[in-house]
Amino acid sequence: MKQAGSDLPGSERSDEQVQGHWLLARLGKKVLRPGGAELTRRMLDRAGIGGSEVVELAPGLGRTAQEIIERAPGGYVGVDSDAGAAARVQEILGERGTVRTADAAETGLASGSADVVIGEAMLTMQGDRAKAAIVAEAARILRPGGRYAIHELGLTPDGVGDEIKTEVRQALARSIRVNARPQTIEEWRALLEAHGFTVEHVETAPMALLKAGRLVADEGLGGALRFGKNVLTHSNARSRVLDMRRVFRKHRKSLIAVALVARKDG
């Protein structure tokens, strides 16, 4: 399949091999968050963006960066490990913010330099040790009282058994080509609290990334139709997307989107 943008991460990989979220982006999907654009907006409203120094980890396509800038922060810094993605977001922002190429666990930013740290759909993609390192880095760069807002894939209910957790994680790994490790709300809360945060707000939404209603809500009618046309006209990509949708549907009782806003203690 000829890509809409050769600068997308994973552009060197085929439709069969590329990670699921970048395949969706290749097909024209711009909102890649599990709870959709609306959950992102509500999370940002809770995080208190206006006038704050904001750091966004792994801004990806830059959709949330635009939402942040619209809320008039005191400053914006994006941190992405992919140089192409960083350049793409910098082009979107122009002089309204800066984007650096660095790892989310080692941003190179000064300690206590941010009021708000935002991270979406990126901790889910990490193992336990990497999750902890990224949260620790968010805590380091935040000032006391700063806010850390995350929007991730969740498992429900809190007492879901290990067998179901393993089944869901294995199904996601096969389908989206990422060793995704979603957690229950209590597990997300415990991860933040272990690094000196107090969770002040939790909100959930259905995991409806590929449902028609969510596609229209996130992409607009025209964008949803273009995405649908691209899926229909590229057989290898279509097979992958349909498989992802089957996995999401099969595990719909266990998968949710969750946003948490936490305040750094001290």
Residue 4: pLDDT band (50, 70, 90) is very low
| Residues 202, 189: Cα–Cα separation, whole Å | 9
> Which residue, 18, 122, 92, 16, is CA-closest to 6?
18
Residue 94: exposure state from Cβ atoms within 10 A (0-12, 13-18, ≥19): exposed
Structural domain includes residue 127: yes
261 vs 61, higher pLDDT:
261
| Residues 145, 187: Cα–Cα separation, whole Å | 22
- Report whether pLDDT(12) > 90: no
Residue 103: Cβ within 10 Å count: 16
Counted domains in the chain: 1
| Residues 192, 96: Cα–Cα separation, whole Å | 30
Q: Name the one residue in this structure whose structure tokens are 């929007």.
A: 151
Structural domain includes residue 4: no
Structural domain includes residue 10: no
CB 81 within 8 A of CB 101: yes
Pull the structure tokens for residue 56. 């966004």
Structural domain includes residue 14: no
Structural domain includes residue 12: no
Pull the structure tokens for residue 5. 């943008």
Structural domain includes residue 235: yes
The model's pLDDT over 173-210, given as tens digits with 9 standing for 90+, comes to 999 988 899 999 999 999 999 999 999 999 999 999 99
The model's pLDDT over 93-110, given as tens digits with 9 standing for 90+, comes to 999 999 999 999 999 999
Task: Assign residue 93 the CATH number of its domain.
Answer: 3.40.50.150
Structural domain includes residue 6: no
By residue range, what is the domain housing residue 204? 20-264
Longest dimension (CA), the chain: 55
pLDDT at 3: 43
Distances (CA, A) of 23 to 91, 187, 223: 22, 29, 16
Distances (CA, A) of 256 to 39, 67, 84, 204, 244: 12, 23, 30, 7, 15
Structural domain includes residue 9: no
